[in-house]
Chain A
Amino acid sequence: MLGASLANPRTQQNPDGGEYQWELPKGFPRPKIPADNPMSAAKVQLGRYLFYDQRMSVNGTQSCASCHKQELAFTDGKPRAVGATGELHPRGAMSLVNIAYSGALTWANPTETSLEHQALTPMFSDHPVELGVKGKGEAFIQILHSDPLYREMFAAAFPGESDPFTIANVTKAIACFERTIISARSPYDRYHYDREDSAVSDSAKRGEVLFFSEPLSCFRCHGGFNFSDATDYQGRRGREIQFHNTGLYNVAGPTSYPQPNTGIYEYTKQPGDVGKFKVPTLRNIALTGPYMHDGSAKTLDDVLDHYSAGGRTIASAPNEGNGFHNPNKDPLIRGFKLSTVDRADLIAFLDTLTDDTVIHNLNFSDPRKNRHP
């Protein structure tokens, strides 16, 4: 029973209605929660329904779950996301797994640190159109208001509010649901935190040694319990969240990364920030390809080719260039030798981060298809 409990991190509200209780297994700290949106079981449940509700799109074809599919660790399997009207997003949909621990939410916006605020972008952006609710927010609220189930759920989630049917409350509920999507008991976690030595293979253990070795130094950016240096949590000490240029491109022209994906330079306008992107978590990485901000690395082998070369070389236009020489490249991206066995070991290690308890957790599934619990 203990194993089952550890394998399935759950959250719930105290029976007395007090502070929300996170039931997190060993190794996982409490997430930071904004003071104006405390967690509650009612908000999480409402957020789950909204997350899967396709009526939240301009043409009733998409919901949050369209680009964040549970079976793909809440990514979409596409190089770049496609909106409700078919418009192509410049970047790939990021995984929502462990987003509660993310101090930077998007690939390249260092100012976006609020899940509640971020939810407005897919809903209302028009360049590109994602869900396409811009100008139709009131109509969407009316749809929610006319649904007896939502009338019940909004009242429970926001007790005491005379009119809880607001866009702000929609985003608060979605954010609460997203924060519960926590991956904490992959085979790696069972090996590392529960000391189940047989939970991972010998190949994966050798891969772990490589991952944490000085020549590869993967762990310097993909470190800590969430395998990312963009991690944040209650009581965290340490350095500011970093964004990195990994030498993926080195094109000619005013920016070394092809437009429009110039990294945090888009916000800072500092030339030294061109090509700097968030370090995504490696948890469930085997499920979240294609990789990089623009999905330009199809497989984990492609990713290892890039890093082992110390930057990617593209031989033909339009993105011709040798990323090894990108002027903003992080000094840690210096290349390394990897034998065939090493490569297999490293990928075996990365595979241990795939967490079946997340992709099959009914608490995170479409509640209209599966009402459990």
Chain B
Amino acid sequence: MGYWYTIAALTGINVILAYSVYSSFITGQVSLGQAAFFGVGAYVAASLTTLLDMNFFVAVMFGGMAGGLLSLLVGFPTLRLKGYHFTIATVAFAEATRVILHNVKFGRPKEDGAVGDRWLGPDGPVGFRHISYLNDHNISSGEFAVLVWCFVLVVVGAFIILERSRISILMRTISEDEVVARSIGISVAKTKIIAFACGGILAGISGGLYAHLLTFISGNDFIIHLSTIALAFVVIGGGQTLWGPLFGAIIFTLLPEIMRPIQSFRIELFGLLILLTMLFRPSGAISANWVRKIRFSLLRKQSVTNLRSATNKEN
């Protein structure tokens, strides 16, 4: 079962990452730079638990904050940028961050260890080894999966609340037409920044969890590919409702595991699936209409039941 616990944990991490893209996607900003915040979150959280023996939960939250702070650094200057320019700017920033993470070195020497393994902390291109918090504190793979999904549930819950609130309508208006949004009094800049920062925080949290699952990270883990896949989660799952990223991340993490029998064609099928979704169902698997219909049919059943019980009571 440990295998499936690990897959479950990875799925959860991917869900949070998908939501980090979704967060700024709602305001019309397509970020392909989440890998930067993910990576920074990973390094910060791992450093705190490995070098300072900090509590895991606190360390991950710090990782999230680091991601959020970095996203502010990106978000403010890029406010003016639209469409593809914004996306390319996020890519440029993410690549720069990756190179810096790849080369950064800090920490302290380790006494026990074979030749070449005498450092605790990120060691440049050699990577960041011994992120062993989970094993050191006797946290099993199942417990970790539950931990990750607690985070996921909080995030999903937050987005459910967001979706029901007025704020989400404001955000979607910005994505539809910024000019109109500004003219009806929405503070476009503030909303975009906050949305982007939330995305940064989520990516940072996701990265912190990832680092501990993998016990070893290096700059090469945070390449553009990661951001692209995260975007694919949202676009294919559906960017119109909050359920889309959840569905997209789950399907895309589980599908390769299930397709293992035809594993040599996994990646081709992934590309094909992206293509087919765009051609035949561009709203994503879960579209706003679909959600509305489900909710309506659920409500209808509810109201029919209410009506029946009311009529029965009368009799």
Q: Do A and B come from one complex?
A: no
Q: Residues on B close to A: CB < 8 A?
A: none
